[in-house]
Every structure is written in structure tokens, then in C-alpha cells.
Amino acid sequence: MSRHHRPRTFFGTDGVRGVVGETLTVDLVERLGKAATLWAGGGRVLVGRDTRGSGPALEEALARGIGAAGGTAVLAGVLPTPAVALLAEDLGVVLSASHNPPEYNGVKIFGRGGSKLSDAAEEEIEALLDATGPGGGAVETMDGAAERYLDLVRPRFGSDLSGLRIAVDCANGAFSAIAPETFERLGATVTVLGASPDGTNINAGCGATDLSLLQKTVREGGVDIGLAFDGDGDRLMAVDERGAVVDGDGIVAAIALDRGVDRVAVTVMTNLGFHRLMADSGIAVDVTDVGDRYVLEALRREGAVLGGEQSGHVIWLDGHVTGDGLVAGLLLCRALRGRSLSSVTGVMPTYPQVKENVRIEGRGRVPGAVVREVERLNAELAGRGRVLVRPSGTEPLVRVLAEAETREEATTLCATVAHLVRRELEAL
């Protein structure tokens, strides 16, 4: 498990995020640009953004901050998060709130070589928010950034997809102008969804967080596999030929078996059925806190190349540096090898999972009585199921997850523990 630092004020599980004009202001973005550039010692900062209407104004603010710190802001325009990571110079910064609704935006920062920042690095950046920079920076634009990214990705991860019929949902986000054509150039027949961004429709009724449109399209026929990205393109969810959802657990499992890896890293949310399949296949599993940065840390520590989260972050490090929805999609299509997606993923048993969010005031922690009861329940379940309780890294919630062999048992477990969480929080 990852080391826990003292809580950061602005940084959550994945960068800084908030409603634009409320918790995420132009001033904060400018200060973050300045602080991150000072932390990096100046240099060239590649800036990409997703398709939110607030992007251009925040890009200007970020560039001012980078310039104030003596750095050069290299503006690449709309670009998926994994592309910024791959092309990052001294720093890479993405203006995106990922899968959040359109009124949100955020700042994600990558270090040299596209590495995610550690908790400690984020604390160091926060400490520089009010520092004065030397000024004298510059702004440049980078043309053709998406093509540079695809020139790296296609030869490394692409395969002959002739005859494969794919529905691709781009969430009206950063992959809208890139992903459909990539699959077509590899020979697939592509049905395109959610690829008309207008600044207000990112993740709205489409993409990895709302698969209903993709499922409907697949069920209407003529499609072998559905792929859905989130707004900034670092997540992938899939739909099999029958319209059933294949989440990050299923995608990682399919790639693990296809590529014959000996070790994977996943988070505490990953389904027990995944663990059972990996054990049966002789593949070691490292378990981390929730957050793709912790999966990345574990992969680097263990020298492994594949990991991911149930939510669709899939990381393949042989030729890449971070989670990439397009790369995950290319690897999943390759793993089919002429078979249906349902037959590929059908080898993994899936335990029913029931989740409930308990709203709290401010940043949460789990009361001691709840921790002790969860430990007792998990010992009693002895691998036939489990309960997980954790504070959200992005919202004022405590998340409860219960998993068991039947949905009824999982529902009862979840309700019991969520009730206990409420009672204990009220008593505080």
C-alpha cells in the first residue's frame, strides 16, 4: 500500500479539480502554473487541455503563471492526457477534470518523462503557491501534437484490425478528433459516438461514465466491440458484442492473459473474481490504494508493465509512461484474436459488488469503530466476500463497497456497514 502523507489542501487523488469560478479559479490556476514551474526549476512546460469551454481562459492563466516563474509554456491545444504525458518536456500540464461534468475543470501535472507526481511533490508545489517568480518567461504553440502522439502510439500498440467492427465513444472529449481515425487506419469499421465537442457536452450522456448510448448502439447490431473513453482520454470502458459492460478489471485481465505477463498491479476496488483468475493463471497481483498514481508506483517498484483500476485506468508501461485509453483499446482489440469479447472476458468470474456513498462534512476519515467492524467482517467472510470502507479522494464522501458470492449478501453487507458509518459519523 502507498505511504500516506499529510493531507494536501488543493491536490486530490488526481490533480486539482473543482467547479470553475468556485473552487477552481483563474487565479488558482495561474498560481499553480507558477508554483509547478518554480518547483521544476523553470524549463519548458507542455500544456494540453480537454474540450471544456473553460479551457482557453484557464490555458491563458496557466501560461501567465508559467511565464512568471521564468518558464516557457508550450501550448498544444486540445490533447488527451496520455499524449501530454508522452510528449512532456521538463513538465507536462493538462487542463481537465477528466470524467467530471462540464462545469468542472482541473489541473494535472506530469514531471519530466511523463511521470505522475508523488504526494510529497504535490505538497512541495502547494508550498510555492504564494512564492514570487523571476518572470521573463515565454509562450509558444506546438502544432501537430496529436500527430506526434499517434506516430508514437500506432506502431507500438496497433495491430491489423481488418474485419473488426468497433463502436467508439469519445465522450465529446479530447480523443474526438483522434481515436476513430486511428482504428479506421488499422482496418476496423468504426461507428463514431460522442465526437462532436461543443464546450458544454463533455461526458454528458456519453463516454466511460455513461455507457448507455454505447450499449444501445452495440445491441442494435453490426458491432463486435464498443470502446468508451472519458473526457481526457486516460480511461477506457468496453462493451461486449451482447451489450454487457467490461470494466477495467476485465480489460486488464484480458490483456494480462493475452500478453502472458507474470505480475499485475490493481487497486483495493478490484473484483475478487479478478484475483481468483490471476491466482489460477499463476500471475502475481500487487494491491494499491485507489488512484492510478499508486498503481504506477507499484508497477515501477516491482518492474511490472501492466496494471489498472476498475474505473478504466489501464496502464501498459512497455513503451508508455501512464494510463492511456486509446492504447488500452488497441491492446484489448489485439487480445481478441478473432474471438468475441464475451468469450475472452468470460473466463473471469465476477462477484457482485454493491457500493454506497455516505456524505460527510469536509474531508473524511473512517471512524475507528467502523475500521474494527470491517476487519471483523472480512475475517468472518474469509475470502468468500469482503467489505471496503474508504474516504473519497475527490469528494466529501466515505465510500462503502461490499462484495459477495450473491447480490443479496453483498447488498445486506453494504447496507449494514453504511448504516454503521452514518451512526459513527453522527456521534463524532
Q: Are 384 and 402 in contact (CB under 8 A)?
A: no
Contacts of 221 (CB under 8 A, 6+ apart): none
CA distance 83 to 85: 5
Q: Minimal CA–CA distance to 93: which of 224, 76, 375, 304?
A: 76
* Cell triple for 25: 479559479
Q: Are 351 and 271 in contact (CB under 8 A)?
A: yes
By annotation, the residues acting in catalysis are: 98
CA distance 234 to 96: 11
Q: Are 387 and 413 in contact (CB under 8 A)?
A: yes
Alpha-helical (H) ranges within 41-174 are: 55-68, 81-87, 119-126, 145-157
Q: Residues, the chain, total?
A: 428
CA distance 21 to 193: 30
What's the CA dihedral at 363, 21, 88, 192 to 10 degrees?
Answer: 100
CA distance 319 to 378: 39
Helix (H, G, I), strand (E, B) or coil at 260: coil
Cross-strand partners of 105: 18
DSSP for 235-286, please give it. Answer: -EEEE-TTS-EE-HHHHHHHHHHHHT-SEEEEETTS-HHHHHHHHHTT-EEE
* Cell triple for 214: 454505447
